[in-house]
Amino acid sequence: MKKIFVLLLAGIFTANCAIARDYAKLQIKEMQHAQKYNTTQKFFSNQNAIQKNFNYLTSKPEQNIYIKDPKIFKLSDYQEVDEAKYQEKLKADDKIYSQYKKSMFKGEIFSYSAKSNGEDYYKVYRIAERIIRANKLDYINWRIGIYKDAENINAYSTGPNYIAISTSLYDSFNNNDDALALVIGHEIAHTVLGHSQRKMDIARLMMNLQNLYKAGDIHAKALFAIKSQQLLTDGKNMEYAADVEGAKLAVKAGYSLDESSDLLSFLNTDIVIPGYLSDHPVGNKRIENFYENRKYFIEDQWAQIGKYNIMNSEVMPVKLSSDRKSLTIGKTHETQSKENYYSVESMEDVYLRFAYKSYVNGEFKKSAKYFKQYFELNKTNAIAYLYASYNSEAIYKVLQRAGALENAKEYIANAYNLNKNNQYIKEQYDNINNISPLSDDNNKKETKSKKKK
Ligand SMILES: [Zn+2]
């Protein structure tokens, strides 16, 4: 620390002594820094990432002639919604919302530092309430705060049901509901994924280790170092996970990830929030994580599930919290059945979703790996076996793996045993059993390319 100080002084000293400084040279050097650091460029470089993402989604990989997708894959909690009935329900809900809106604009209620900002609270209420209902999280009261912070664009969550966003964040995105939804979704994701508890568990372990170390245990010191590193790494990983789960929560509530891209662009300009760099990954890494995982999203089905949940739930009442700062969104769900509540995506569903999307994205080897993991957990899903057979067929044809044909046959036989009436299963069954094995030529090719590696 001292050394740096001395160096700084020396710098000032020489600068003062210089008689004629080449300010033109200095400015040119500054402009070189500006090429890299200017925030406009950083902001818009995210647009390139979006473009890349879109190209990926719209133009299928070159192997696309091998991809068969009769669109019969459905998520396990997929529910069809009658659009007309859904619109009717929204209209009915609107009447109730307008009652709350009136009370929120009365001035003394929802006032913040004596200045009414009922409008802001109402906006946040509507976004949060929609996310909560669309994800069946309306079984508890939620508390939402907008805290005064003119400098830091930030948000946090604490406890099982409290989330807060800074006025800076709110103001930066007040004309972009989709971006606000992504933030609120991210914070709700932290709470439902139990991230505070997970961090607490590691912290408690570290405290024990510290005590052991003080008592003379040498091994405890090394373990402590490992655990503190883990706390940092896990903290970052939880951010990645909350970004992905939060996006899913927002999509279910009908928000658009494309429209929320301003938020990601902001992240990319890397505004340093105090303490932010310690356990938060840097912006561009979060964007990479977001886009990589979005490839495995099933957004249209998630949106349908969300609509179904909104149809089958009631408007959640809002009131000023007893702290006189935050708002409380009251629970409405009285059903005692566990099935009516939010649940974290099961590992079966996770593997199957990644397997299916990898296949339609043309990542056949990845898909095969995920299907294998899925079938270890579930052996009763005929449609999954059908898609696994499609995928093995693609591996056989594109990558010319002889064994893949056997896999394709085995998978479709399993599908057929489970469901003999599905036309796509029947077609694939006939098709795959009519494929002739690879010729000797191809087999030779395969061994040759293997040797090369
Ligand atoms: Zn976070």
Two structure tokens written together for 190: 């932290």
Confidence class of residue 51 from pLDDT cuts 50, 70 and 90? low
Q: How far is the CA of 166 from the centre of ligand 1 (A)?
A: 13
Q: Is 11 exposed, middle or buried (0-12, 13-18, 19+ CB in 10 A)?
A: exposed
Q: Is 327 exposed, middle or buried (0-12, 13-18, 19+ CB in 10 A)?
A: buried
285-327: per-residue pLDDT in tens?
888 888 889 999 999 999 999 999 999 999 999 988 888 788 8
Residues within 5 Å of ion ligand 1 by Cβ? Answer: 239, 242
Phi, psi at residue 150, to the nearest 5°?
A: -80, -10
411-451: per-residue pLDDT in tens?
999 999 999 999 999 999 999 999 877 664 444 444 444 44
Cα separation, 97 vs 113, in Å, equals 25
Q: How far is the CA of 231 from the centre of ligand 1 (A)?
A: 14
Two structure tokens written together for 122: 């109402």
Confidence class of residue 156 from pLDDT cuts 50, 70 and 90? very high
Cβ–Cβ < 8 Å for 306, 135: yes
Give the model's pLDDT for residue 401. Answer: 85
Q: How far is the CA of 237 from the centre of ligand 1 (A)?
A: 10
Query: Among candidates 394, 389, 424, which has minimal Cα distance to 407?
Result: 389
Q: How far is the CA of 280 from the centre of ligand 1 (A)?
A: 7
Give the model's pLDDT for residue 38. Answer: 79
Q: How far is the CA of 187 from the centre of ligand 1 (A)?
A: 6
Q: How far is the CA of 189 from the centre of ligand 1 (A)?
A: 9
Cα separation, 252 vs 81, in Å, equals 13
- Alpha carbon 41 to its chain's center: 25
Cα separation, 273 vs 265, in Å, equals 16
Two structure tokens written together for 362: 């043309």
Residues 171-187, mean pLDDT to the nearest whole number: 95
Query: Residue 176: helix, strand or coil by DSSP?
Result: coil
Instruction: Give CA separation, 424 vs 72, 98, 314, in Å.
Output: 9, 49, 40
Give the model's pLDDT for residue 115. Answer: 44
pLDDT at 10 over 60: no
pLDDT at 255 over 80: yes
The label of the residue with tokens 């200017």 reads: 38
Cβ–Cβ < 8 Å for 422, 382: yes
In this prediction the pTM is 0.85
Give the model's pLDDT for residue 126. Answer: 95
Q: Which is it for strands 162-166 and 142-147: parallel, antiparallel or unpaired?
A: parallel
Instruction: Give CA separation, 216 vs 202, 204, 220, 438, in Å.
Output: 21, 19, 9, 67
Cβ–Cβ < 8 Å for 166, 325: no
365-420: per-residue pLDDT in tens?
999 999 999 999 999 999 999 999 999 999 999 888 889 999 999 999 999 999 99
Domain ranges of the chain: 60-71+346-448, 83-340
Range name among 85-99, 139-153, 181-195, 304-318 with the lowest pLDDT average:
139-153
Give the model's pLDDT for residue 447. Answer: 44
Q: How far is the CA of 195 from the centre of ligand 1 (A)?
A: 9
Q: Which CATH architecture has domain 60-71+346-448?
A: Alpha Horseshoe (1.25)
